[in-house]
Amino acid sequence: MEGLVRSLGACLLAGALALPAVAAPADGAGAPAPGAYLQPPEPLLGVMRAPLNPSPSIDPTGSRALLVRQSPFPSIARVAEPHLRLAGVRITPANHSRHDRSSGYGIRTCLEGFSLFELATGEETAVALPEGACPGFASWSPDGRRFAFDNTTAEGVELWVGDAATGEARRIEDVQLNPVLDYALQWLGGSDRLLVKRVPADLGPAPVKAEVPSGPEITDATDGSGGESSTYEARDTLSSPADEALFEHYATARLATVDVASGQVVPVGGSAAIGRVSAAPDGRHVLMHVLKRPYSYVTAWNRFAHDVVVLDLDSGRTRVLAELPVADRVPVRGVPTGPRSHAWRANQPATLVWTEALDGGDWKNDVPERDRLLTLAAPFTAAPREIARLPQRHAGTVWFADGGRALVYGYDANRNWVTTRLQDLDDPSQPYRVLWDLSANERYADPGSPEVRRLANGAAVLHEEDGALFLSGAGATPQGDRPFLDRFELASGTTTRLFRSAPDAYESFVGFVAGDTSRLLTWHQSPADPPNLHLREYGDVLADAAEGEAAVASSARRLTAFPDPTPLVRGVRKRLVSYTRDDGVELSFTLYTPPGYREGERVPAILYAYPMDYADPSTAGQVSGSEQTFTRLAGYRLLLLAGYAIIDNAAFPIVGDPRNAYDTYLEQLVANAGAAVEKAVELGVVDPDRIGVTGHSHGALMAANLLAHTDLFRAGVASSGGYNKTLTPFGFQNERRSFWDAPGVYDQASTFFHADKVDEPLLIVHGADDANPGTEALQSPRLFQAIRGTGGTTRLVMLPFEPHWYTARESNEHFVAEMLAWFDRYVRDAGPRAGEAAPAKVE
């Protein structure tokens, strides 16, 4: 199938449907060769290739920032490197490295480099790296004196350590990291030691997979146990004993400690297929997940059978805390039974806390309590002790610096609801106190997230000062986001607003300077100013502060001076627009107009959206985003430079009980589109006869369905979508019912079954190596064949080697070139409709 998809994509790329010659070949010379990568014209190409400004990583002491420089796109040569697909990971065998990101949705790319920025003086020091270096993101030591990072070479993945005072970085000898199952490096307590996963020195050569198979590929389900298993678990699964051998080879690692001052490397424990690794605050004990056979052929490695093991670095001894079977029959949206989510308690040297389900791991079971928390301290010889029970699914615990107090989060999947409890987990007899209890989608009343600080050993605890916590959040309002920082008094529950972004900018809290809570680091931007670090210092208390505004005066000073990489884009204008759906649900979008736009002029437009699921209409209509952010153009937004308006991030809520909201999916989808188009036309900006629609992933399904069920749009572009939901029969998005429980829902959501109604031109784009099980690469060729076979106008572009999110420079440039040509032909240059446009309707 993989070969078929790639061959089909190459044929279609070579010209199954002629398009206007608006794009240049990738080498910039002459007419494009058949099947060659295209480039969009200037100025779109120049904006795509503009450098990215650095992003800051603040050290734990709040004294320095590591300025991280990223490249916009790697080359297709990097993306096309030979790799293996094994148990949910993609591995580059040439250097025993990870080819994809941990999320599986993109390719792991190289950073361009680092520099150190002194917050007190503004001095910047470049970190010197060898020519051709491929560094990954850095990890600060708890004391902020050093930072560690990996560097990928042709032979392997190296360990590097940098000195924060001088900017000097050096490679640690005799360490080849094994990043295949993540957790390749971490700092040990407050020491100058790192804990690393190494490729064992005695690993030997990789098994050779026979070119001629010795037998068929067999996946067995003959035990009669039944049970649902979410399709989303099955990504690049194993399929043969040869796959098992290869996976075990590349997953096998041995832990070692590294003294970064002396460079001494001390191996600890034995070699095994090691998954998760987490060091305790004491820097002595290490939690490990050791994978064991038999490996599953239907799920990824993180649900393989494994032992939960604690390793004592001083003695080398291990203790098995739990032996967990393969979790390949977990209910959709459910959790495995037995111990799960082991984590070190942040304010004790070596105490584990974990969760166990009381409802069989199934949200459909009606029980008074869903989860319980248990704990066990070193030396891990006593019986575990239960410390709490929750009526909701446990969603995390954050500890105070001392004592048993913690914030315990619970999530109710049946209501999409989050509860935050303040609880003394050392004394379960003490009643807990609910601090916040609200919808997971609530934005306007969101109290923000508690800030944390690092202890000397590196553990993160709540940042408490004189009985108060600090809460930072997006600050959503009907006029757009205005980020804030509040001081929350634990005893009284009252809040004092310390900082709020001005209405003509977008400024968010980053951290405190050198631990001083009267000096804030912020990340400031505006439509005219690129993001930069600012320093704010508190002044006098304001007695007459308006509701919601800061109650403390502050002065601001810019620390960094990153330039505008694309001055041309400053000619783009944007505004936040609010409106309502026919049923009263409040909606919004951001309207972008092209450079040089004259008020009152009607221009062609593109609508972009991604449908989201909501349990409550009051939260579905809450505005997200801000018109005060610095505008960078990528993807479909680049069409602004070709004269299009963009109806961006239009709200497309699917509202209803999470257990059956998709019963009205199509009806709500059409209502969302109709309301957005009507408002955009009403504003006098958009030409109603020249509107296109685009979306990615679930948004691609939206775009295809709107062409099938409305006449609002002249053409569409759908990228990396899943158009036949029966191929994910145990649920999609927040739909939890199986195809056999709700076949009508799967039918109405699937464009494939309504391909004969797609009567406007649809450009279909897909990454040929898409690892997302809900949008496998075969989905797009099938929809193309269905539309073509029923007489529709369509074009299929399969981007070689690309995952769910396109990574290579050549692929992204080609995608934009194809999109521009498609919309120019079928939207911008479209003639008047034959008669009045039909209203949006469900067919």
Catalytic residues: 697, 770, 804
DSSP 176-203: EB--TTS--EEE-TTSSEEEEEE--TT-
Nearest to 355 by CA among 369, 374, 333: 374
Retrieve residue 19's tokens: 């398009």
**Within 10 A of 628 (CB to CB), how many other CB atoms are there?**
22
Which residues share a beta bridge with 485?
A: 472, 499
Question: Residue 472 pairs with which residues in a beta bridge?
Answer: 449, 485
Query: How crowded is the C-beta side of 565, counted as CA atoms within 13 Å?
Result: 16
Side chain identity, residue 467? G
Count CA atoms within 13 Å of residue 713 on its CB side. Answer: 30
Token pair of 662, please?
């998709």
In the structure encoding, which two tokens stand for residue 310, read together? 């604690």
State how far the Cα of 88 lies from the Cα of 299, in Å rounded to an integer: 8
Q: What is the DSSP string of 13-72?
A: HTTSS---S-SEETTSSSSPPTTPPEEPPTTHHHHHTSPPPPEEEE-TTSSEEEEEEE-S
Q: Are 283 and 188 in contact (CB under 8 A)?
A: yes
Question: Do 762 and 707 touch, CB atoms closer than 8 A?
Answer: yes
The structure tokens listed for 699 are 């948004």
Q: How many helices (H) and strands (E) does the chain have?
A: 10, 49
Greatest CA separation for the chain: 83
Residue 440 makes CB contacts below 8 A (sequence gap 6+) with 411, 416, 417, 418
Q: How far apart are CA 758 and CA 113, in angstroms?
A: 47
Nearest to 656 by CA among 648, 665, 647: 665
C-alpha R_g of the chain: 27
Q: Which of 479, 442, 439 is nearest to 623 (CA)?
A: 479
Return all residues near 110 (Cβ < 8 A) that are at least 6 apart.
71, 74, 78, 133, 134, 135, 136, 152
State the Cα–Cα distance between residues 646 and 577, nearest whole angstrom.
Answer: 12
Give SS3 for 149. strand
Task: Answer yes or no: are the C-beta atoms of 412 and 659 closer than 8 Å.
Answer: no
Spacing of C-alpha 339 from chain mean position: 26
DSSP state of 732: B
Give Cα 107 to chain centroid, integer Å.
13
Between CA 755 and CA 790 the distance in angstroms is 7
Please state the φ and ψ torsions of residue 810, each to the nearest 5 degrees: -60, -40
Residue 113, phi-psi category: left (phi > 0), alpha (psi -120 to 50), beta (remainder) = left
CA distance 418 to 428: 21
* Those residues with Cβ within 8 angstroms of residue 332's Cβ, 6 or more apart along the chain or in another chain: 228, 230, 730, 731, 736, 738
